[in-house]
Structure 1
Amino acid sequence: MSGSHAGDGPRVVVVGAGIAGLAAAHRLLGRGARVTVLEASDRVGGKLLPGEIAGARVDLGAESLLARRPEAVGLAREVGLADRLQPPATASAALWTRGALRPMPKGHVMGVPGTAAALAGVLSDEGLARIERDADLPRTEVGDDVAIGAYVAERLGREVVDRLVEPLLGGVYAGDAYRISMRAAVPQLFEAARTHTSLTEGVRAVQAKAAAAGQSGPVFMGIAGGVGTLPLAVAESVRARGAEILTGTPVTGLRREPEGGWRVVAGERVLRADAVVVAVPAPAAAALLRAEAPGAAAELAGVEYASMALITLAYRRAETDLPQGSGFLVPPVDGHTIKASTFASHKWGWIAGENPDLVVLRTSVGRHGETEILDRDDAGLVEVSRHDLKAATGLTAAPVATRVTRWQDGLPQYPVGHHARVGRVRAHLAGLAGLAVCGAAYDGVGVPACIASAYAAADQIHGDLRGVQQLTAHPVQSLHGGAGE
């Protein structure tokens, strides 16, 4: 196999070159390991995908990083992107509900309000009054877990769920708020529900804690050129430090060696490693772990995924008059097809600066269990997007370019019990030294959460291998026994 590996540390194979796998490789190199990353597809980056439309650089996947967590912006700085980190040019979003674009209410935790103030127009008079009654209700026990939609509806009424919580959670998970685990998806709210009789009081306590912690500055951060450039920069960094990244190389087998270590089969290659990090979606991880960890594999095989599509549209600026703000979310209860729209040229100053004659925006469609809309062809998705954009904003101009990006099974679902499922997966893997898992299926779907998952996996591997006498480096061989390419 071509390429060199720095040092003589333990050899680690990372399966998957999404942001989690690349971050794990980056961390492992810093711990002195020799790393090979194997990726089934023809590119690195997973759900982070840079692209272009009408000559404009854009993101075709995730477009922003949660800046209130350190992992993603920290990694971006470590791989040379510090001068390209940019907060949104505008953070004022809207809700398209009850026939109008309305300012997104402030003072909430994932759509759950601490007060009924500022919700007029979004909620009915009865919905507003229902929030006020929360303080008089007896405590609602949450147990080990509870669906956020069911809990909030019981405390504050269904309107809060349907018109505030659903559109926000839908943007993150493409899921159903009445199924999504509060413990897994909004853990700070879960803890507040466990310790406060009133939900609104708990929300205010969460907000007060954040204020006391001195959280200031932008909530989100972007990268000039697109968040999709982050995995490319990480890949370049790990290659420069001696790691090897092989794309178009699906892993089909993973077994423990009798003498210790792991045997990784990838096509005609057989790699022998001291440790393995599995950083692929749950179904692929289940297939790889079935032989050595059937219990973990069975749990991972039960993780459900939602599919979605992003429709990116470019317009001539002279023909386009969008409302101010970064875009809008759409409550499903209002019956529209799109679930959100981002005014990318408004939101990201670098897009507007690079493309002064264009306006770029995008819409998203698809939620868990919704397959009919995604069965439409690209032209059909563009058509429904333009229809809803016209109804929401009055936009009638024809786009100069369109692009549809489909993310089949792109977002893992976190139903009630997800935290316990992840605990069982890790319990099944606990006896297998030198094996770790990471990615969006475990502790969060956002980019910082995926990176944190990767760092935890890398640290586990380092702990497993530390103090163990290092074996002589295994040669990489093909199935025919010759030297690898």
Structure 2
Amino acid sequence: MARRVAVIGGGVSGLAAAYRLRTLLGDAATITVLESTGSLGGKLRTAELAGRRYDVGAEAFLARRPEAIALIEEIGLAGELTHPTAARSTVRAGGRRVALPGGTLMGVPGSVGAVADVLSDAGRATVAAEGDLPPVSLGGEDVALGPLLRERFGDELVDRLVDPLLGGVYAGGSDSLGLRATVPALASALDKGAGSLTSAAASLLPASPSRAPVFGTLTSGLGTLVDRLVELAKPDIRLDAPVRALHRLPTGWRLEAGPDVLEADSVVLAVPAPAARRLLEGVAPDASAALGEVELASMAVVALALPPGTELPDASGVLIAAGERHADGTPFAAKAFTFSSRKWSHLDGGPVFVRGSVGRFGEPGALRAADEELVRLVRADLAELTGITAEPVDVLVTRWGGGLPQYGVGHLDLVGRVERAVAAVPGLAITGAVLHGVGVPACVATADAAAARIAGVP
């Protein structure tokens, strides 16, 4: 008998799972994707801005993890794969915009020289002395990353470098994130006997910088990945169909989605933690309880198309340290800008594209502003950083409420609890950014694992 699989959630995780299920189960299977909103793609969203396709959600993926590139090649999109230009990123810290330093592991330096340009004399002295402190001993436990780094390196390194870098990944600062889930290599080096954070970072840094590209994207936007997965998965798509309840039957599942009731042999959950917690409450209560502990951060992307010929800085973008202010004392609303027309060669020519990112975990700040005011604030930040005051030819504000899960202390244990509880329920699998990474490659990896479980593939 042909298999019936319901995939709850139409983001990249759910669609990658649907595609993999199609390859494993064949054309006879019925695959239904239920998406609570009116569009597919989740955090991958390519919009039209000034007549061009432009990403207003995730704009790149980590190219040094293999899963995203392997999937792109498998589904015939290799010809669209591209990598950033040689333009370097910068950071606004201590009232100055300087090149983002190399020689660090997510901002944790292998030497004081690596971060000298970002710090004051006092900050450099504190970093230089870290190796003389008593050895770090984790005892196999997880710890909050921020307090550990502040104790060893002082506040300045964390505020000026570590938090801006982590903010770009999680929209959260290091004080609320766990060491083992966010910088696992550093934790491993400490477990193996590195006496200091500086020596642990130094042991993990390559002897010479790698020439392999760090990031990748698609020239027509990451929305093309969404479209291609849908084309190949050939699912029955139901939009505006939030699943209200999930029930186990003797031989399968019953899903309540709006006014409709759907029966399936198997279910893949590919939704954010709050929705997954609710649906699993009566099905896998231990998993539900664990997911209830996950906190979320909200953010917004303000996409600006500036007039052709607008001169951008010679940089791919700028991260903004927490606490940075304009010359008149006004705090920055944005946490980062991407100078897209500098970063991506396929966007060069015609309108000049810039995107400002707003929102840090626990600090709604400018996110409370209406769209028009948010654009004004972000444009004021851009003018302060670059001197650019040109009136945009097009603007688009995209908000991501609760868009990014926070990997707090003990996150790996929490994920273990979720996965063990789900594994004990036949015909059920889970995927998504809440598990083993928030980026596209990590989501693809969990989607493949979920599909393999449903298909019974070892």
Q: TM-score, normalised by structure 2?
A: 0.93
Q: Deviations over 1:156-201 (max 9, x none)?
A: 2221111110000011111121110111112112212222112111
Matched residue, 2:202? 204
Identify the residue that residue 118 of structure 2 maps to in structure 1. 122
Residue correspondence of structure 1 range 65-144 to structure 2 within 5 A: 65-142=61-138, 143-144=140-141
Is contact 1:222–1:348 with CA below 8 Å preserved after alignment?
A: no
- Mapped to 2, the partners of 1:384 and 1:177 lie a distance apart of 25
Q: Residue 231 of structure 2 aligns with which residue?
A: 236
Which stretches in structure 1 are left out of the alignment for 5+ residues?
1-7, 467-485
Corresponding residue for 2:301? 310
Q: CA deviation at 1:216?
A: 4.7
Cα-to-partner distance string for 1:47-97 (whole Å, 9 max, x where unaligned): 100002111210010000100001111111222211000001234100112
- 1:302 Cα deviation after fit: 2.5
CA contact 2:94–2:160 (8 Å) conserved in 1: no
Residue 395 of structure 2 is aligned to residue 398 of structure 1: no
> Is the CA contact 1:329–1:341 (under 8 Å) kept in the aligned structure 2?
yes
One-letter code aligned to 1:229: T
Distance 1:295 1:387, change over 3 A: same
| Contact kept? 1:252, 1:266, Cα under 8 Å | yes
What SS does the corresponding residue of 1:129 show, helix, strand or coil? helix
- Decide whether the 8 Å contact of 1:17 with 1:279 is kept in 2: yes
* Equivalent position of 2:273 in the other structure: 282
> Which of 172, 176, 179 in structure 1 is aligned with 2:176?
179
CA distance in 2, matches of 1:107, 1:174: 23
> Which one-letter code corresponds to 1:136 in the other structure?
D
- Match for residue 329 of structure 1 among 319, 322, 343: 319
CA distance in 1 between counterparts of 2:303 and 2:36 reads 26
| Structure 2 letter corresponding to 1:247 | L
Deviation at 1:317, TM superposition (A): 2.5
Larger mean CA deviation between 10-19 and 244-253 belongs to: 244-253
**Per-residue CA shift, 1:287-338, capped at 9, x if unaligned?**
11112122221221221111111111111123x2221011110011324221
Measured in 2, the distance between the counterparts of 1:105 and 1:55 equals: 36
Letter in 2 for 1:204: A
Return the letter of the residue paired with 1:281: P
Residue in structure 2 matched with residue 362 of structure 1 by the alignment: 355
Question: Would the aligned equivalents of 1:53 and 1:401 in 2 still touch at CA under 8 Å?
Answer: yes
Please give the alpha-carbon distance, in whole angstroms, between the structure 2 residues aligned to 1:312 and 1:24. 30
- Does residue 428 in structure 1 map to residue 421 in structure 2? yes
1:161 and 2:158 are equivalent in the alignment? yes
Residue correspondences, number: 447
Partner of 1:217: 212
Tell me how far apart the structure 2 counterparts of residues 436 and 326 of structure 1 sit (CA, whole Å). 39
Secondary structure of 1:387's aligned partner? helix
Residue aligning to 1:291: 282
Q: Is 1:192 equivalent to 2:192 in the alignment? A: no
The separation in 1 between residues aligned to 2:119 and 2:444, in whole angstroms, is 37
- The whole-number CA distance in structure 1 between the counterparts of 2:248 and 2:69 is 36
Q: Which residue of 1 aligns with 2:40?
A: 44
Confirm or deny that 1:29 pairs with 2:29.
no
8 Å CA contact 1:100, 1:392 repeated in 2? no
8 A Cα contact 1:62 1:228, kept in partner: no
1:249 Cα deviation after fit: 2.0
Residue type of the partner of 2:129?
R
| Counterpart residue identity of residue 48, structure 1 | L
Q: Is the 8 A contact 1:49 1:229 kept in 2?
A: no
AA matched with 1:272? E
Residues 292 and 81 (structure 1 numbering): CA distance in 2 closer, same or farther, change over 3 Å? same
What is the aligned partner in structure 2 of residue 247 from structure 1?
A: 239
Shift of the 68–164 alpha-carbon distance from structure 1 to 2, 3 Å rule, reads same
Aligned to 2:142: 145
Instruction: Note closer, same or farther for the CA distance 1:135–1:371 as it changes in structure 2 (3 Å cut).
Output: closer
* Secondary structure class of the residue paired with 1:449: helix
Task: Choose which of 435, 441, 445 in structure 2 pairs with 1:442.
Answer: 435
Find the aligned partners of 2:131 and 2:96 in 1 and give their Cα distance. 31
Cα offset, 1:232, TM superposition: 1.5
Alignment of 1:346-385 (within 5 A): 346-352=342-348, 356-385=349-378
Question: Could you say what secondary structure the match of 2:123 adopts?
Answer: helix
- The answer to whether the Cα contact below 8 Å between 2:55 and 2:221 also exists between their aligned partners in 1 is yes
Q: Say yes or no: does 1:300 pair with 2:291.
A: yes
CA distance in structure 2 between the aligned counterparts of 1:247 and 1:446, rounded to whole angstroms:
24
Asked if residue 338 in structure 1 is aligned to residue 334 in structure 2, the reply is yes
Deviations 1:224-256 (A, max 9, x none): 0112221111111111xxx32222222222111
Question: Which one-letter code corresponds to 1:167 in the other structure?
Answer: P
Equivalent-residue separation in structure 2 for 1:247 and 1:254 (angstroms): 18
Looking at structure 2, the residues matched to 157 and 147 of structure 1 have their Cα atoms a distance apart, in angstroms, of 15
Do the aligned partners of 1:61 and 1:228 also contact (CA within 8 Å) in 2? no
* Amino-acid identity (%): 47
CA distance in 1, matches of 2:191, 2:148: 12
TM-aligned CA deviation for residue 9 of structure 1: 4.5
Contact 2:94/2:119 (<8 A) preserved: no
Quote the offset at 1:36 in angstroms.
1.8
